[in-house]
Structure 1
Amino acid sequence: MSVRTRATAWSVGLTVLLALVVVVSAGIGAVTIEPRTVAAILVDAIPVPVGVSTGGSTVLPLVGSVPTPSVEFVSPFDFAASRPARIIVLSVRLPRILLAALVGFALATAGTVMQGFFRNPMADPSIVGVSSGAAVGAVATIVLSLSVPFGLEGAAFVTAVVTAFVVYLIATEDGRTPVATLLLAGVAVQTFLGAVISFLLLQSGESLRQVVFWLMGHLSGATWDEVGMLALVLPLPFLLVLVHARDLNVLLLGEGDAHALGIEVERTKKLLLATASIITAAAVAVSGVIGFVGLVVPHMLRLLVGPDHRVLLPASALAGASFLVATDTIARSGAAEIPVGVVTAAVGAPFFLYLLRTREVHSP
């Protein structure tokens, strides 16, 4: 079976799985809604353009010139569902579910890239300090009541990207960025930023609960604006890493062999590091620090689909989306909501220990 066929088959299968998880998740909550009703509501919400509106009448798009035309959209179906059920699914639960899917997609993608980049199964999206950088921006905004463009999310994104850039500058010498040096620089910067976060926590006062909740990772209060922002940021970086999936495969052989095979090693490393950092920064900015998604999901999918990143990248991304939607459903389904980061750690840590004990964790 060709690589393209395998990638397509896994992507289609995992997309179907994600759709099923979304439907089931949207029906779970204080008010239970049957999956078939949820599916009907979601399908009924799909808009279809039917023509051009001219202030009350609809004409075919090709009919003459009309003043200030606008395309009208209608639902192709008319399923019977109560208005409260539609509001619960489309306005209350769906934004959070889609945000969880996008964040899981992003973290799993970044984790796959980082594990291949560092040739280390213990690498995760935050290894170069991106999550710690985002945490500093978010915590500072909350504790100091800062007014910044795009709010807390904007501050977290900017400080995350700046942190990754600083780590890269520290590790780069004479135009080369040794992977080992980059790893050590990331650890050092994370340690320093951890101290900054601890200092801000001491000054947090009444905002301590909000700060801790953010640091644990959460998706409560998700809005369509956050969904739209993440959906706008993710596609280009994901396509870039997907285009360079073959180069990532070659880098697994070592930088010397990669250079001999025609790979521009430093340029490729710079591109992969930048895109993975942007993907992680965007996810962490809207969700807080959610661990284990980018660590465990790539492992699980590598066991299933193999180490070829042309298949592994899309498969891990889709599986990460399903994983986070499922764990967030658990997080919000109890008597009291808990941060989703707590659930991912509770699920991910035992699974990772199982992989260690069965010797399934090894260098890619």
Structure 2
Amino acid sequence: MFASTSHSTSDSNSDSTSDSASAPTSAQRSTRHPTGQPPGLPRRLPLATLLLWLLALATSALPMLPQANLTTLVTAFWSYDSSHYASVMAHFSWAPRIAVAILIGCGLGLAGAVTQQVLGNPIASPTTLGVEAGGQFGVTLATLYAPAMLAFSPDLAAIAGGLLAIGLVIALTWRLGFSPVTVILAGLVITFFMGALNMGFLLLQGEWLGNLFIWGAGSLVQNNWSQFLELWPRVLVLGIALVLLMRPLELLQLGSESAHGLGARVDALRLLALFLVVLMSATVVSRVGVVAFVGLAAPVLARLLGARTLRSRLAWSTLLGGGLLLLADTLAQWATTWGNGSLVPTGTTTALIGGPIILLALRGVNNTHHMPGEPSGPASFVPRRRPTGVAAGILLLVLLTTIIAAMGWSPGIEGWRWTPPADWADAWNWRGPRLLAAITAGVALGLAGTIIQRMTGNVMASPEVLGISGGSALVMVAMVLLGAQVGRAGQLAAGTLGAAAALMLLMLLARRHRFAGNQLLLGGVALYVFMDAGLRLVMASGGTVAAQLLNWMYGSTWLVSESEALALAAVMTVLIAVTTLAVRALTLLPLGETPASSLGLNVQRARILLLVLAAVLTAAATVVIGPLSFVGLMAPHLARVMGQQTVGRQLVTAALAGAALLALADYLARVVLYPNQLPAGLLAALVGGLYFLWGLSRHGRR
């Protein structure tokens, strides 16, 4: 069921080949240019960089010009007039903020370019590898359990968390030669997983961590030069160390085997370079929060503007990174002003820049028509077919046991006690609606996940990983931030619109690649970035609205009323009936467009209808359980593992598996930390993240 090592390695080699093609070797350059000189630098690269810097500097200076002239602003970087208030403000707030933005942007741009070179991956960056989420996780743990470490140095906790995250990515993908798509998937899921852990700590220890998560949204606000003076020597030393690796890194453009044949210690070089990248990124995260999408945007822009050699990519990525972060920070300040003083963190604007950049970078990903988790040849793991009645019976037994436990066996003030069935009518008011909502959401995600996996032919696809849940969530986050008051019906309609838009965008992106799963999965990364921007905006806003929204984002079923649960159950009854009509289309589509059409299927109309159905199912679940549960991935897998290979059987079994998984997650979330409660979606995300990582680790095994 999972791809073989040879296939994943070939993917990596093909990307390395593609990268080396875009950055020719010296021998190739000598062939093309008799003088042996490298190709000339495109004019658009320095011109675009100059325009970016001029725009960033002009927009950052514009708000200060009514208070101070240009000479005062320039001299504010090294002196000030104590009798002139505008000069004091410029020297102690405006100038250090600009200096920190430029310093951090340059460092992250350089780190991103090195990361992409090491992994041969045009959308690799500290952000997509989970380093920032790991750094924030390290700071969270240190805040709760080792505050003395933070007092000594906040960098240590962030570096430890960043090393943990990238260590997990390396462990999962080392055997595959850092297959590009698998590396990004591993980084994305580790980001999900550590984000869920961070959110769990926030919900349980909010009184200690509230300000920490406002900081984590990313802010460059300064009130003196101390932070800049602490950061610049570290960024400079790490930057020099990364530049010194330039010559050995150039050998990686030849491919791992060729570089090894020329004497390069490829594995050691990769580890050293990634270690320096973690140090650079974690140092930044510990000071200003997560703003590191600049580490993705700057190298991609350098490539798109014509930087071909490694030297030029490193140099121009560094310059573009400084300009981009300064511009993003300025936009954040302007948005804060336009929003009547409501804080818009720099992390939000950098994430909004990062999303479109990923979409542009997808054009540079060399793709095959085989997907992560799907071998190019016969499957290495095909479960033995089993009767559907046996599989369904097992899942129904698990679901029934969970329902009985949830209604009857729960902790209370006097400890664990059994509620007799005669009293379940009273217990229903407290336990029933959330249980019914969890079951409903589980069925929806099981069906949606199966439809998406069958449509794309990709067993690692799901509403969560593809960003479809994120698209649904993003619309609802926007509604809350805009103050729109709508009920569950309005949320369902808005969520469906967002999910459909996200899924349609993904399909459009993947159309030129014949709907290959790699392109869909990488497009999901881009959609996640947009959702991340919204989350960071919510976290920075604080207040009760933010707390309620964050609870919902991770699936707090205790917010569901009885009428809402019954309404969702009624909607799901209709959707289940509609799904039964899609069995034939899901059976024929994997055969290919021509065979399916010859058998009487209108392929284009079938795809559109299936997109809408998957979007509605995803929205129905997202309204209840939030966008990051991973049940849409696990349920179809469990159905397949239980021997259900045909479409109809897999749909039935996946629906039951989803219901059982989320019902169990809701019950455990209610009782495991009693009297505290965890969101059911958060618990499911933690289990689902581990399941996904286990699935990735099986790549290449036979």
- Flag whether TM exceeds 0.5 (same fold): yes
CA deviation digits over 1:20-64, x for unaligned, max 9?
2211222232244548x3xxx2xxxxxxxxxxxxxxxxxxxxxxx
Where do 1:65-214 residues align within 5 Å? 81=422, 83=423, 86-88=425-427, 90-126=428-464, 129-148=467-486, 150=487, 153-167=488-502, 170=505, 171=507, 179-180=515-516, 188-214=526-552
Match of 1:77 in 2: none
Q: Determine if contact 1:129/1:163 at 8 Å carries over to the other structure.
A: no
| Aligned match for 2:610, one of 253, 272, 281 | 272
AA at the equivalent of 1:341? G
Q: CA deviation at 1:129?
A: 4.2
Separation in 2, partners of 1:169, 1:294: 18
For the pair 1:342 / 2:678, whether they are aligned, the reply is: no
In structure 2, do the counterparts of structure 1 residues 113 and 168 end up closer, same or farther at CA, with 3 Å as the change threshold?
A: closer
Match of 1:76 in 2: none
For the pair 1:297 / 2:678, whether they are aligned, the reply is: no
Q: CA deviation at 1:193?
A: 4.3
In structure 2, do the counterparts of structure 1 residues 158 and 187 end up closer, same or farther at CA, with 3 Å as the change threshold?
A: farther
Match of 1:15 in 2: 396
Match of 2:694 in 1: 354
Q: CA deviation at 1:300?
A: 1.6
| Aligned match for 2:658, one of 302, 320, 325 | 320
| Aligned match for 1:257, one of 581, 588, 595 | 595
Match of 1:78 in 2: none
CA deviation digits over 1:155-210, x for unaligned, max 9?
4323322224434665559x999535766665544433443443344334443222
Q: CA deviation at 1:226?
A: 1.5
Separation in 1, partners of 2:531, 2:684: 23
In structure 2, do the counterparts of structure 1 residues 272 and 314 end up closer, same or farther at CA, with 3 Å as the change threshold?
A: same
Where do 1:51-70 residues align within 5 Å? none
Match of 1:58 in 2: none
Q: CA deviation at 1:318?
A: 0.7
Q: CA deviation at 1:216?
A: 1.6
CA deviation digits over 1:288-344, x for unaligned, max 9?
224211111211210112321110001110111011111111111113111222211
Q: CA deviation at 1:116?
A: 0.8
Q: CA deviation at 1:212?
A: 1.8
Greater helix percent: which structure? 2
Q: Determine if contact 1:6/1:311 at 8 Å carries over to the other structure.
A: no
CA deviation digits over 1:81-121, x for unaligned, max 9?
4x5x6412x22112211111111111111111111111111
Name the larger-Rg structure. Answer: 2
Structure 1, unaligned runs of 5 or more: 42-80
Q: Determine if contact 1:141/1:155 at 8 Å carries over to the other structure.
A: no
Separation in 1, partners of 2:390, 2:584: 19
Separation in 1, partners of 2:426, 2:481: 34
Q: CA deviation at 1:265?
A: 1.2
Q: Determine if contact 1:128/1:164 at 8 Å carries over to the other structure.
A: no
Separation in 2, partners of 1:132, 1:167: 8
Structure 2, unaligned runs of 5 or more: 1-385
Percent of residue pairs bearing the same amino acid type: 30
Separation in 1, partners of 2:389, 2:655: 13
Separation in 1, partners of 2:578, 2:404: 30
Separation in 2, partners of 1:213, 1:361: 38
AA at the equivalent of 1:179? F
Q: Determine if contact 1:129/1:187 at 8 Å carries over to the other structure.
A: yes
